[in-house]
């Protein structure tokens, strides 16, 4: 079964850090383009970051650039999002998602169930 | 960054009728446009990619059209399970971007 499972969310104070993980199974992780997407409570979807080690792309939304870092471990079949200098506006449900065809430009066909990050004092 | 807009924000439709949702990009995205459905408490689900290709397992009552900057998602013969939020997304250029969504609810 193709599956993505996020973990690592929680309550964190403004200015602190948090690291999210996404465990992948059922597909060839190292050939995939992977993304982070977030959704604040009651609001829409926002693309956060994407990575393709095969193609050599890592990119970030302007709202997180310089504060968030995406990485991957092909041995552990896992995607990570290191979030530093967290702000209240980073409060959201964070999803990891897979790019459909292994290309740099493709839709997201597999999504995890998300992990909630709450930034509050 | 490419800005995506969707209209209307809310669409009230009766079961069995047809819903037409619009999506516009601030610059051409060619055919690199996807539609997702999201229900409360669930992750988004891919419906349409490359503007008009249905994803695996998606019923034929969902159809997509358009290219460049103007796109449409049509849901024919609306079923009870189709009442949900729908998002468009461009993936022609990084950073990718989503529209704000259209809520399809029961009239």
Render pLDDT for A6-30 as a digit per residue (tens, 0 to 9).
Answer: 999 999 999 999 999 999 999 989 8
A60 contacts in chain B (CB < 8 Å): 95
Shortest distance, CA A15 to any CA of chain B (angstroms): 25
User: So what's the pLDDT on residue A102?
Assistant: 80
Taking contacts as CB-CB distances below 8 angstroms, the residues of chain B near A50 are 94-96
What percentage of chain B exceeds 90 in pLDDT? 98
Residue in chain A nearest B100 by alpha carbon: A44
pLDDT the model gives residue A101:
82
A103 or A121: whose pLDDT is higher?
A121
Q: Mind listing the pLDDT tens digit for each residue in B14-59? A: 999 999 999 999 999 999 999 999 999 999 999 999 999 999 999 9
Per-residue pLDDT at A53? 79
For residue A24, how many other CB atoms are within 10 A of its CB?
24
Whether B58 and chain A come into contact, CB under 8 Å, resolves to no
Give chain B positions within 8 Å (CB) of A99.
Answer: 91
pLDDT at residue A54, as a whole number: 80
Q: Residue B55 and residue A109: Cβ atoms within 8 Å?
A: yes
| B60-73 confidence digits (pLDDT tens) | 999 999 999 999 99
Closest residue in B to A101 (Cα–Cα): B49
> Would the pLDDT of A103 be above 90?
no
Instruction: Mark yes or no for CB contact B98/A46 under 8 Å.
Output: yes
Query: Which of A44, A99, A107 lies nearest to residue B100, judging by beta carbons?
Result: A44
Residue B52 forms contact with A (CB below 8 Å) = no
Q: What is the mean pLDDT of residues B83-94?
A: 96
Q: Residue B98 above 90 pLDDT?
A: yes
- Max CA-CA distance within chain A? 41
3-state helix, strand, coil in chain A (%, to 5): 5, 50, 45
State whether residue A23 sits within 8 Å of chain B by CB.
Answer: no
Residues of B in contact with A40 (CB under 8 A): none
- A56 pLDDT exceeds 90? no
Pick the residue of B31, B34, B43 with the most A CBs within 10 A to test the interface with A by mutation: B43
Which region holds residue A53: left if phi is over 0, alpha if psi is between -120 and 50, else beta?
Answer: alpha
Residue A55 is predicted with a pLDDT of: 82
Q: Are B21 and B37 in contact (CB under 8 A)?
A: no
* B86 inside 8 A of chain A by CB: no
Judging by beta carbons within 10 Å of its beta carbon (0-12, 13-18, 19+), is residue A41 exposed, middle or buried?
Answer: exposed
Confidence of residue B103 (pLDDT cuts 50, 70, 90): very high
Rounded to 5 degrees, φ, ψ at A11 are -95, 130
Q: Does A62 touch chain B (CB under 8 A)?
A: yes
Asked if the peptide bond before residue A47 counts as cis, ω within 30 degrees of 0, the response is: no
């Amino acid at each position: 079964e193709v599956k993505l499972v996020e973990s690592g969310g929680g309550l964190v104070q403004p200015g602190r850090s948090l690291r999210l993980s996404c465990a992948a199974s059922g597909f060839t992780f190292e050939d995939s383009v992977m993304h982070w997407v977030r959704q604040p409570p009651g609001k829409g979807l926002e693309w956060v970051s994407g990575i393709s080690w095969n193609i050599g792309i890592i990119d970030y939304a302007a709202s997180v650039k310089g504060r968030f870092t995406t990485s991957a471990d092909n041995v552990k079949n896992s995607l990570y999002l290191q979030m530093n200098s967290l702000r209240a506006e980073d409060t959201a449900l964070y999803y990891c998602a897979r790019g459909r065809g292994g290309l740099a430009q493709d839709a997201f066909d597999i999504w995890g169930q998300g992990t909630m990050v709450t930034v509050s004092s | 960054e490419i800005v995506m807009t969707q209209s209307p924000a809310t669409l009230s439709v009766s079961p069995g009728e047809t819903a037409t949702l619009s999506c516009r990009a601030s610059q051409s995205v060619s055919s690199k446009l996807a539609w997702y459905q999201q229900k409360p408490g669930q992750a988004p689900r891919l419906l349409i990619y490359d503007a008009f290709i249905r994803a695996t397992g998606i019923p034929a009552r969902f159809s997509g059209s358009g290219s460049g900057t103007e796109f449409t998602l049509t849901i024919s013969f609306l079923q009870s399970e189709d009442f949900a939020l729908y998002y468009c997304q461009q993936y022609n250029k990084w950073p990718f971007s989503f529209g704000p969504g259209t809520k399809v609810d029961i009239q």
